[in-house]
């Protein structure tokens, strides 16, 4: 697994329109772990792809009526089976963090890569997801030298007033152990 032209070579590429230019493309120095399931607590279908591509049909589920107009994205999604989808090249700013701060620095989207795990704060993640997340992280650490093990965080850590993902079921020790 490696990164070519800011794209993960093993990922399915699903271009999202929800991105823009980074203020400094060389300033990729934070990795943010998220989780998402659509509808909530359900792990089938292409609803996440549809959300990130502005194609979510509000008639498909009552929850979608609330969120279908959101303009959001992540760089990557790791599904329950370990498959990876890339929505935004790493050198662009994906819209994943929202109002956020890391070590006193605001607007984390400017300098971070966002990885969504298909999951929920209420359920454990799969072994396949941990394995794939570790491989992806190693590739990112190699490609972007300003990233480091101490600059990996959860969405809840950069937006604690608003977010609780990846949640208590995310095993940081297991993940870090796989990173070596």
Contacts 24+ apart (CB under 8 A), 122-125: 122/41, 122/167, 122/169, 123/41, 123/169, 124/169, 124/171, 125/35, 125/166, 125/169, 125/170, 125/171
Active site residue 116: yes
- Exposure string over 147-179, b if 16+ CB within 10 A, otherwise e: beeebbbbbbbbbeeebebbbeebeeeebeebe
Can the peptide bond before residue 166 be classed as cis, meaning omega within 30 degrees of 0? yes
Indicate which residue of 66, 106, 116, 161 is catalytic.
116
Q: With CA atoms as reference, report the closest residue to 53 among 73, 76, 75, 78.
A: 73
Q: Residue 69 and residue 30: Cα distance in Å, rounded?
A: 27
Q: Residue 41 and residue 8: Cα distance in Å, rounded?
A: 27
Q: Which sequence positions are flagged as catalytic?
A: 116
């Amino acid at each position: 697994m490696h990164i070519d032209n800011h794209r993960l070579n093993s990922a399915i590429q699903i271009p999202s329109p929800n991105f823009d230019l980074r203020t400094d493309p060389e300033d990729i120095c934070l990795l943010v772990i998220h989780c998402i399931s659509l509808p909530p607590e359900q792990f089938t279908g292409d609803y996440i792809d549809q959300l990130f591509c502005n194609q979510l049909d509000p008639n498909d589920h009552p929850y979608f009526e609330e969120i279908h107009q959101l303009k959001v994205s992540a760089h990557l999604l790791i599904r329950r089976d370990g498959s990876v989808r890339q929505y935004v090249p790493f050198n662009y700013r994906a819209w994943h963090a929202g109002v956020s701060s890391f070590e006193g620095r605001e607007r984390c989207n400017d300098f971070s890569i966002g990885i969504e795990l298909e999951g929920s704060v209420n359920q454990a993640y799969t072994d396949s997801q941990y394995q794939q997340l570790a491989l992806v992280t190693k590739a990112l650490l190699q490609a972007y030298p300003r990233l480091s093990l101490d600059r990996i965080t959860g969405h809840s850590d950069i937006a604690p007033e608003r977010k609780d993902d990846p949640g208590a079921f995310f095993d940081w020790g297991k993940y870090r152990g796989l990173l070596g």
